[in-house]
Chain A
Amino acid sequence: MTTTEIQDEIIDDFSLFDEDMESKLFYLMDLGKKLPAMPSEHQTENYIVKGCQSKVWLFPVFEDGKLFFEADSNTEITKGLVSLLIKVWSGKTPEEIMATDLYFIEKIGMSRMIGSQRSNGFSSMIKQIKMYAFALLSKENN
């Protein structure tokens, strides 16, 4: 599936909740719980993406030209969003990641989790993944 198809599927899932923010958050937190456990040896200071309130741990693996991610967060809602981001981006090439227009977050009513909110590690995580992808691309091109 392309990143666009995956994002549309997520938006479709969330459309069931309509404007019910509480159910949406509970669903997000359940998604977070299903995220495969991140090996504790990867949950170190080196792989932390810091926000003022929520932290995200992100461990990238590059295999066969594709990026895969292990991740975790100290807050349940952020962890749910992290699981969605991984769904969109894990197993994709650096080119695909760099070319992604990430629109699903806004469409599921979570735009406050990105943008200027310094409080959130999720926003920094998006930048971090793009940085990994960019670094890999630059390396390939050299």
Chain B
Amino acid sequence: MTTAQKDFSVIREEFPILNQKVNGHPLIYFDNAATTQKPAIVIKNLGAYYLINNSNIHRGAHTLADRATGMFEATRKAVQAFINAPEAEECIFTKGVTEGINLVAQTWGRKFLQEGDEVIITYMEHHSNIVPWQMICEEKGAILKVVPIFENGELDLEAYKNLLSARTKLVSCVWASNALGTINPIKEIIDLAHQNEAVVLIDGAQAGSHIPIDVQAMDMDFLVLSGHKLYGPTGLGVLYGKRALLEAMPPYQGGGEMIREVSFSGTTYNDIPFKFEAGTPNIADVIAFKYALEFVNQIGKETIIEFENSLLNRFVAGIDSLNTKFGSNRIKLIGTAANKVAVQSFTIEGKHHFDIGMMLDAKGIAVRTGHHCTQPLMDFYKIEGTVRASFAFYNTLKEVDVLLEALEKIASR
């Protein structure tokens, strides 16, 4: 066992949920792209908030309210550092990535998109980065353009360049594909868009837990992140936006917290981030999220990537040798880009992904099956769906071997 593997086996112990049996077998959790498990420190602090500090924030002149407000805003600062944002105020808490994208579509889009304008997305977007744009484009008479991909799951950058024009107002692109694992060259995508004076939104749902983030170095306009895919609680996400953009946008929802003054003759709005955080926010989860970010920082993204890649490589090599054994490509890998996060989709000849998922579950192995909310992408590959194994740093090489063994049995049947 290498030092890295030994260290990660210690880190694994911080995830109490992994220590259980499912259908009589030790749980092997390979559905990390859907949601990651939570370290004990996050769970503990989630509970501690309700046990000790529960109070509404940004109001109440009492000690508990002060404490809760301080902890809530401390997470905002932690997020700022995590993505290297210039200001904490540019980090808005949302319900998740879906809400973040809808927020931008419904505020920035509603104000700035006009008839004939173009919005560019890619073929590998999650439905949550397709539908909000379809909705606002339809409303505004704007046109949605889609960047094609190659068979291996990489973006066709030449086609992207050709789609860009003076009519392009916004580009919304996934950083790492949830179905394929492809890491897109977002710096290049952003720079090209900026040369055309288009604004860029980056969907960091999958990238957040794997790739180091520097919104300034990348010159990101908007970035959306998910809390629960980053070892944090569910129902929580982050929208980063450049101050000038956020200030130019109208509010998303009306209510408490987002106002400066309200009268029946009119209302003035609060400054960012509060302008976009109407109502009592998800205080407990935001507070606990800080501990998830610290947990990831302590390990370090580079270390995480290196180890997760070893899991992915073991899996891909294992499938290759199974296919050699079968004498045919019975297990087909979907998504074979050169630069990937630790996500691998595949299909097995003559087997339905639903059956494969059920049979793996019978062995205690949790994977995702289906279209992964990327139906256009499935249409591109002319398949109904895939089985997707997605790895995290608490997984082990041995677990990958158990999956490979189970797949050999299924494919041989």
Stretch at the interface among B82-90, B106-114, B226-234, B355-363: B355-363
Query: When the two chains form their complex, are residues B23 and A119 in contact, meaning their CB atoms are under 8 A apart?
Result: no
Query: When the two chains form their complex, are residues B358 and A53 in contact, meaning their CB atoms are under 8 A apart?
Result: no
Q: Within 8 Å of chain A (Cβ to Cβ): is B370?
A: yes
Residue in B23, B355, B361 whose beta carbon sits within 8 Å of that of A75 in the complex: B355
Query: When the two chains form their complex, are residues B370 and A52 in contact, meaning their CB atoms are under 8 A apart?
Result: yes
Q: How far is the CA of A21 from the CA of B21 in the complex (A)?
A: 13
Query: When the two chains form their complex, are residues A21 and B354 in contact, meaning their CB atoms are under 8 A apart?
Result: no
Interface residues of A in 1-47 (CB under 8 A from B): 19-22, 24-26, 29
Which residues from chain A contact B354 at a C-beta distance below 8 Å? 53-54, 75, 77-78, 119
Which residues from chain B contact A25 at a C-beta distance below 8 Å? 358-359, 362
Q: How far is the CA of A2 from the CA of B354 in the complex (A)?
A: 32
The 10 closest A-B pairs by CB, nearest first: A21-B362, A22-B362, A75-B352, A21-B23, A53-B354, A75-B354, A76-B355, A75-B355, A77-B355, A54-B354
Q: How far is the CA of A120 from the CA of B254 in the complex (A)?
A: 39
B240 CB to closest chain A CB, in angstroms? Answer: 33
Q: Within 8 Å of chain A (Cβ to Cβ): is B94?
A: no
B363 CB to closest chain A CB, in angstroms? Answer: 6
Q: Within 8 Å of chain A (Cβ to Cβ): is B353?
A: yes
Q: List 10 A-B contacts (CB under 8 A).
A: A22-B359, A25-B359, A26-B413, A29-B355, A53-B354, A53-B369, A54-B352, A75-B355, A77-B354, A119-B370
A contact residues, total (Cβ < 8 Å): 17
Most buried by A among B352, B353, B354, B361: B354
Which residues from chain A contact B363 at a C-beta distance below 8 Å? 22
B327 CB to closest chain A CB, in angstroms? Answer: 23
Which residues from chain A contact B355 at a C-beta distance below 8 Å? 29, 75-77
Q: How far is the CA of A25 from the CA of B355 in the complex (A)?
A: 9
Q: Within 8 Å of chain A (Cβ to Cβ): is B266?
A: no
Which residues from chain B contact A22 at a C-beta distance below 8 Å? 23, 359, 362-363
Query: When the two chains form their complex, are residues A77 and B358 in contact, meaning their CB atoms are under 8 A apart?
Result: yes
Which residues from chain A contact B361 at a C-beta distance below 8 Å? 21
Q: Within 8 Å of chain B (Cβ to Cβ): is A74?
A: yes
Interface residues of B in 233-280 (CB under 8 A from A): none
Q: How far is the CA of A25 from the CA of B359 in the complex (A)?
A: 7
B340 CB to closest chain A CB, in angstroms? Answer: 25
* A19-B24, A21-B362 given; 6 more Cβ-contact pairs under 8 Å: A21-B23, A22-B359, A26-B413, A53-B385, A76-B352, A77-B358
Most buried by B among A26, A53, A119: A53
Q: How far is the CA of A9 from the CA of B362 in the complex (A)?
A: 23
Query: When the two chains form their complex, are residues B370 and A53 in contact, meaning their CB atoms are under 8 A apart?
Result: yes
Which residues from chain A contact B385 at a C-beta distance below 8 Å? 53
Q: How far is the CA of A53 from the CA of B384 in the complex (A)?
A: 8
A73 CB to closest chain B CB, in angstroms? Answer: 9
Q: How far is the CA of A49 from the CA of B132 in the complex (A)?
A: 29
Residue of B nearest to A121 (CB): B354
Q: How far is the CA of A54 from the CA of B369 in the complex (A)?
A: 11
Residue of A nearest to B370 (CB): A53
Q: How far is the CA of A22 from the CA of B361 in the complex (A)?
A: 9
B394 CB to closest chain A CB, in angstroms? Answer: 24
Residue of B nearest to A24 (CB): B362
Which residues from chain B contact A29 at a C-beta distance below 8 Å? 355
A63 CB to closest chain B CB, in angstroms? Answer: 32
